[in-house]
Amino acid sequence: MSQFDFDLFTIGGGSGGVRASRVAAGFGARAALAESGRLGGTCVNVGCIPKKLFSYAAHFREEFETAAGFGWKVPAPKFDWDLLRDNKDREIARLNKVYEQLLRNAGVRVFSGRARVCDAHTVEVDGARHSAKHILVATGSQPALPKIPGIELAISSNDAFHLKALPSRALVVGGGYIAVEFASIFNGLGVHSTLAHRRETLLRGFDGEIAKQLAAEMGRKGVCFKFGAEPLSLQRTASGDLETRFSDGSSTRSELVMFATGRRPNTGNLGLEAAGVHLAEDGAIRVNGYSTSTVASIHAIGDVTNRRNLTPVATADGMALAQTLFTGRPSALDYANIPTAVFSDPNLATVGLSEEAAREKHHTIDVYKAGFRSLKHTLTANEERITVKLIVDRTSQRVVGAHMLGPDAGEIIQGIAIAVKMGATKAQFDATIGIHPTAAEEFVTLREATG
């Protein structure tokens, strides 16, 4: 008989925590999970899933316009925000139940309540204590808003999913993928949208050229940009608008201001430090390559570790941890060549190194790229351009980076990511026959290096 109530007790019911618990239970571990909110975490409730649904909705406006070039005559479309929001809510509620059923079917005991760590082997949930051989913290992160006067008048991305009404004018502050996506979403839904960012370019860490082209395409579609200034304060005007003042002396007025300027790990009031777990300055849990903290029995995965804050990374970390703990086969995730996408309009997707990072790491590289107008838009007035780009290490001829800006970029780069992960060479890309006519075929027909 084990001296512990459970072999694994997970705090946090997001994608990573749910996956780790289910897999551990599949390996025969006695698993439990505690969640104080809705199962599915950020991704299901206020992240990937509802945001992609909103992104679909935002793209339809352009699709109606495109259809006219193909002979379709339809009445002027009318958008119903309440219907979209309520349909989204129903789908998220369905997914919440699916997650709960998956856990229970796997044999995981689910606790609805806030949990905290008491010591290396004890978790407390709503006053009741449970012992565990291993404790997993998978509590994710939350939006971090700057401490400026009037910040209580602004919203975060979490709030954007539940607006009672759609504003006519919105200011989105930030330059990361969340800010870029919501600026595109608001714009596509008919909101006059401005994106303000303290830097001069969007999407730090992404390929610089592709990021600049994204800004150009978003601008062509109607998004306004304000670069190089930070918001200093917000105040409500006599007319009811929100006035945002910036460090360059300028100001803007809008009905809604949304900040997407970063997130912070959810580690507050969890008892971690008292239990001996070391935290980084930003509150993230410090872990080794096997997701184990400074306390051997306490582990952490996902956004709470602030490594690669992507849902598929959290789930992969969860699977690797379960295998490490309950199969005797230590498993660590390889964080190289993880693909990702920004569901802006147009989409941006990438795998591997940006041109800047590749020049720093490999020194001698060849860059192959192409920019073109989609066949779909040749019968319309839409001037959107697609860009594809390959980064090749000149010495080994391996493709070390692939980038795309254009419709369904995430769908296309997912396949390209397999080749990059396997170490495919430029010659192997060239030897692959393209599917014609598609945008994806451009990746295997790039012949002339541009730099």
C-alpha dihedral (185, 187, 189, 190), degrees to nearest 10: 170
Q: Are 446 and 390 in contact (CB under 8 A)?
A: yes
Which residues have a Cβ under 8 Å from the Cβ of 190 and sit 6 or more positions away? Answer: 61, 79, 166
Query: Any idea what DSSP says for residue 279?
Result: B
Tokens standing for residue 410? 């995430």
End-to-end Cα spacing for the chain? 66
Please give the Cα distance from 403 to 195 (Å, whole number). 23
Other beta carbons within 10 Å of 37: 14
Q: Are 355 and 211 in contact (CB under 8 A)?
A: no
Q: Are 368 and 443 in contact (CB under 8 A)?
A: no
The CB-side HSE value for 325 (13 A sphere, CA atoms) comes to 33
Vertex 326 angle, CA 320 and 328, to 5°: 85
The DSSP result for 121-179, as a single string, is TEEEETTEEEEEEEEEE---EEE-----TTGGGSB-HHHHTT-SS--SEEEEE--SHHH
- Closest CA relative to residue 150, chosen from 254, 251, 240, 231: 231
C-alpha dihedral (179, 182, 183, 186), degrees to nearest 10: -160
Please give the Cα distance from 348 to 437 (Å, whole number). 20
Question: If residue 6 lies in a helix (H) or strand (E), which one and from where to where?
Answer: strand 6-11
Which positions are annotated as active-site residues? 436
